[in-house]
Structure 1
Amino acid sequence: MVTADGTPWHYLDTAATAQKPRAVIDAMARALGDNYATVHRGVYTRSAEMTLAYEAARRTVAHFIGGHEDELVFTRGATEAINLVAQTWGRATLKPGDRILLSQAEHHSNIVPWQMVAAEVGAQIDVCPLTHDHRIDLDAAEAMLTEAHKLVALGHVSNVTGALLDAPRAAAIAHKVGAKLLLDGCQSAPHMGVDVEALACDFYVFSAHKLYGPTGIGALWAKAELLAGMPPYQGGGAMIDRVTFAQTTYASGPQRFEAGTPAITEAIAFAAAADYVRNLGPHNIHAHEQGLVARLRRELGAMNDVTLFGPDDSAGIVSFAIDDIHPHDLGTILDESNVAIRAGHHCAQPLMDYLGVPATARASFGLYSSEADVDALLAGIARTRKIFGRG
Structure 2
Amino acid sequence: MPHSVDHDGPMTSTEVLRIRNDFPILAQEVNGEPLVYLDSGATSQKPISVMETEQEFYEQRNSAVHRGAHTLAVAATDIFEDSRATVANFLGIAENELVWTANATAGLNLLAYSFGNASIGEVPAQARQFGVGPGDEILVTEMEHHANLVPWQELCARTGASLKFIPINNDGTLDMDAAAQLLTERTKVFAFTHVSNVTGVINPAAELTAMAHAVGALVVLDACQSAPHMALDLQALDVDFAVFSGHKMLAPTGIGGLYGKAALLDALPPFLTGGSMITTVTMEKAEYLKAPQRFEAGTQPISQAVALAAAVNYLHETGMDRIHDWEAALGQRLVSGLEAIEGIRVLGPASGIPRAGLAAFEVAGVHAHDVGQFLDASGIAVRVGHHCAQPLHRRLGLSASTRASTYLYNTPEEVHVFLEAVAKVRPYFGVSGE
| In structure 1, C-alpha distance between the alignment counterparts of 2:114 and 2:83, rounded to whole Å | 24
SS at match of 1:298: helix
Match of residue 184, structure 1, among 215, 222, 226: 222
Alignment partner of 1:162 is 2:200:
yes
Counterpart of 1:366 in structure 2 is 407
What percentage of aligned pairs have identical amino acids? Answer: 45
TM-score, with length taken from structure 2:
0.88
SS at match of 2:359: strand
Counterpart of 1:80 in structure 2 is 106
| Partners of 1:91 and 1:121 within 8 A in 2 | no
Counterpart of 1:253 in structure 2 is 291
Q: CA deviation at 1:334?
A: 0.5
Matches within 5 A, 1:18-57: 18-57=44-83
Give the residue type in structure 1 aligned to 2:189: L
Alignment partner of 1:2 is 2:40:
no
Counterpart of 1:119 in structure 2 is 157
- Unaligned runs of 5+ residues in structure 1 are none
SS at match of 2:164: strand
| Partners of 2:39 and 2:405 within 8 A in 1 | yes
| Partners of 2:341 and 2:423 within 8 A in 1 | no
Match of residue 326, structure 1, among 359, 362, 367: 367
SS at match of 2:57: helix
Deviation digits for residues 126-173 of structure 1, max 9, x if unmatched? 010112321122221111121010010000000111100100110111
Counterpart of 1:294 in structure 2 is 332
How large is the Cα RMSD of the aligned pairs?
Answer: 1.3
SS at match of 1:241: strand
Alignment partner of 1:220 is 2:245:
no
Q: CA deviation at 1:208?
A: 0.1
Matches within 5 A, 1:371-382: 371-382=412-423
| Partners of 1:239 and 1:251 within 8 A in 2 | yes
Give the residue type in structure 1 aligned to 2:165: V
| In structure 1, C-alpha distance between the alignment counterparts of 2:328 and 2:176, rounded to whole Å | 24
SS at match of 1:48: helix
Give the residue type in structure 2 aligned to 1:314: R
| Partners of 2:335 and 2:346 within 8 A in 1 | yes
Counterpart of 1:61 in structure 2 is 87
| In structure 2, C-alpha distance between the alignment counterparts of 1:138 and 1:257, rounded to whole Å | 34
| In structure 2, C-alpha distance between the alignment counterparts of 1:81 and 1:315, rounded to whole Å | 23
Match of residue 12, structure 1, among 19, 25, 38: 38
Q: CA deviation at 1:2?
A: 2.5
Match of residue 270, structure 2, among 213, 216, 232: 232
| Partners of 2:29 and 2:35 within 8 A in 1 | no
SS at match of 1:325: coil
Alignment partner of 1:273 is 2:298:
no
Deviation digits for residues 296-353 of structure 1, max 9, x if unmatched? 2111111231111112322111111111011110100110110000010000000011
Structure 1 moving runs of 4+ over 3 Å: 4-7
Number of residue pairs the alignment of both structures matches:
391
Counterpart of 1:174 in structure 2 is 212
Q: CA deviation at 1:114?
A: 0.4
| In structure 2, C-alpha distance between the alignment counterparts of 1:91 and 1:179, rounded to whole Å | 18
Counterpart of 1:304 in structure 2 is 342
Alignment partner of 1:204 is 2:242:
yes
Moved more, 83-92 or 355-364: 83-92
| In structure 1, C-alpha distance between the alignment counterparts of 2:89 and 2:114, rounded to whole Å | 24
| Partners of 1:167 and 1:200 within 8 A in 2 | no
| In structure 2, C-alpha distance between the alignment counterparts of 1:77 and 1:107, rounded to whole Å | 14
| Partners of 1:66 and 1:195 within 8 A in 2 | yes
TM-score, with length taken from structure 1:
0.98
SS at match of 1:197: helix
SS at match of 1:253: coil
Q: CA deviation at 1:275?
A: 1.1
Match of residue 337, structure 1, among 372, 378, 381: 378
Give the residue type in structure 2 aligned to 1:76: A
Give the residue type in structure 1 aligned to 2:356: A
| In structure 2, C-alpha distance between the alignment counterparts of 1:238 and 1:126, rounded to whole Å | 37
- Unaligned runs of 5+ residues in structure 2 are 1-25, 119-130
| Partners of 1:12 and 1:340 within 8 A in 2 | yes
Give the residue type in structure 2 aligned to 1:61: V
CA gap of 1:217–1:150, structure 2 versus 1, over 3 A, is: same
Deviation digits for residues 208-249 of structure 1, max 9, x if unmatched? 000110101100000011101111111111011111102211
CA gap of 1:250–1:91, structure 2 versus 1, over 3 A, is: closer
Counterpart of 1:108 in structure 2 is 146
| In structure 2, C-alpha distance between the alignment counterparts of 1:384 and 1:320, rounded to whole Å | 13
